[in-house]
Amino acid sequence: MSIYGKYEVYLPKVMEMIVSDIEKFNNEYKLKYDENAYEHFIYRIKDESHMREKCESQGLPLTAESALDKIHDAIGLRIICNFVNDIYDTVNYIKSLPHVTVAEEKDYIKNVKPNGYRSYHIILQLETPFEDVHGNTPGQYFVEIQLRTIAMDSWAALEHRVKYKKNLSEDNLSLITSELKRVADELAACDLSMQTIRNLIRSTNGGIL
């Protein structure tokens, strides 16, 4: 049996709820600014085998309650934006949704990790018309969302490869870590400059790019 139990059938429906909300925001944004709020938007339901591994790594029993209540990323979304302000505009929209409660929020853009990692993480608790693991209807389901600029996402992908790369010498690893931090800061400066240019263009075009 799936670790998600009988609730497995609800996960695609819950995901579609929040995906539709974000796509609606993008449509409204495009009408207002003649550009998209994001460049890429991907989403997934965590593979059952990966969820089992995560439960085991955290010492949790292999139950639907562990997968859907103790762990909060069974449903995951990643939004890749062109500009930093688009991240905050999208987050503010998501927070305004009446069926959404913010369960956890980490702004690694304003509070950069020591290694240079930048991203915005938010865990939502969605009120849905479906039964949850506690037997409640309407039920509550968690969704994890990561928002990054294109530059942040490219950096994170490279850093992820380094993290899981085996057989790196200590000297090489030290050099790579230092270079990643330097590049992260340079990319952040580029993001800021790009945002400034976009703001200037908008201000000279009555708010339209």
Name the residue ranges covered by the structural domains of the chain.
5-155
H/E segment holding residue 172? helix 170-203
H/E segment holding residue 122? strand 120-128
Residue type, 20: S
The pLDDT tens digits for 21-62 are 999 999 999 999 999 999 999 999 999 999 999 999 999 999
The pLDDT tens digits for 59-71 are 999 999 999 999 9
Residue 102's nearest CA partner among 53, 68, 142 is 142
CB atoms within 10 A of CB 170: 7
| Dihedral angle sign, alpha carbons of residues 15, 18, 22, 25 | positive
Q: What's the angle, vertex CA 165, arms to CA 163 and CA 168, rounded to 5?
A: 105
CB atoms within 10 A of CB 66: 20
> Which CATH architecture describes the domain 5-155?
2-Layer Sandwich (3.30)
pLDDT above 70 covers a percentage of the chain that reads 98
* pLDDT of res. 40: 95
